[in-house]
Amino acid sequence: MATSLTLPDLDPTSDRAVFRQIADHIRQAIERGQLREGDKVPSEAQLMQHYGVARMTIRHALQVLQSEGLTVAEHGRGVFVRSHPPMRRLASDRFARRHREQGKAAFIAETEDAGGKPSVDSIKIDEVKPPVEIAERLSLGPNDRVIARSRRYLINGQPVETAISYVPMEIAKDTKIMEPDSGPGGIYARIEEKGYRLDHFVEDIKCRMPLRDEARALKLAPGVPVFHLVRTAYAADGTPVEVCDTVMSGDAYVLSYELPAR
């Protein structure tokens, strides 16, 4: 019964713009559960009829909701309440040595355990001069080169995360870090074999709207922000040995950290 939804009338005495009042009504219907995930919002024509306003006014209201991430428009089909993908939880012990299957392997195991179908694509390995922020974190000079390992993670075909690992050339050379398959235990195992005992990681997390390329790579709906997480791995002597720059769909992740009270 897509038509059972009853929306209030406009308040002509209100200072609030008409398009905002309309957006408020629909937002409230979603918050109250009168419209649920996947439900169709009344069509533009129906809303014009109900409120007696021009189409552009209705569209403006619907656009507000879309940029809030509450709805998605599907051309030729209608406007729908956004359904949220299952959230993937990243625990802070995911790099403890006892689960040291890095990157791809860990992602595949976790996703299958959670009943999803994982995949990894866009794998690319380049020797490059790193971006300045990366070079700083790796304590590299302006002309030092690194190996950049890029990939994209998907769950049930839906991209959820892109990541680029940067490893100083000095460490990566003559190891499987330079090959698409970095071998058992991933690049961290290769780094340790090279004599750098991993000691700790530092993760810096920002929350922002995606850039255009990121929105495309992650197939993000309008109004979905991203986590931008930069992880630096340090050896026991304090040397930074790897930086991983990842962008994650805000929709798809909960990050979880355990902190000692000490």
Which two three-digit tokens encode residue 187?
Answer: 């690049």
Q: What distance in Å separates the CA atoms of residue 45 and residue 35, rounded to the nearest whole number?
A: 18
Q: How far is CA 165 from CA 136, 138, 214, in A?
A: 15, 12, 17
Neighbouring CB atoms inside 10 A of 130's CB total 23
Q: What distance in Å separates the CA atoms of residue 111 and residue 145, rounded to the nearest whole number?
A: 34
Q: Is residue 43 within the footprint of DNA (CB under 7 A)?
A: yes
One of 58, 160, 177, 226 touching a second copy (CB under 8 A): 226
Q: Is residue 55 within the footprint of DNA (CB under 7 A)?
A: yes
Q: Is residue 185 within the footprint of DNA (CB under 7 A)?
A: no
Q: What distance in Å separates the CA atoms of residue 84 and residue 135, rounded to the nearest whole number?
A: 36
Q: What distance in Å separates the CA atoms of residue 193 and residue 173, rounded to the nearest whole number?
A: 12
The span of 11-19, 94-102, 123-131, 134-142 binding a second copy (CB under 8 A) equals 94-102
One of 117, 200, 216, 219 touching a second copy (CB under 8 A): 200
The span of 3-11, 156-164, 166-174, 225-233 binding a second copy (CB under 8 A) equals 225-233
Write down the residue that tokens 């992740």 correspond to: 253
Site string for a second copy, 104-143 (x = CB under 8 A): ----------------------------------------
Q: Is residue 186 within the footprint of a second copy (CB under 8 A)?
A: no
Q: What distance in Å separates the CA atoms of residue 145 and residue 166, rounded to the nearest whole number?
A: 10
Task: Give me the residues that bind a second copy (CB under 8 A), please.
Answer: 27, 56, 63, 67-69, 92-93, 95-98, 198-209, 212, 222-227, 233, 250-251, 253-262
Task: Give me the residues that bind DNA (CB under 7 A), please.
Answer: 17-20, 41, 43-46, 53-57, 59-60, 73-79
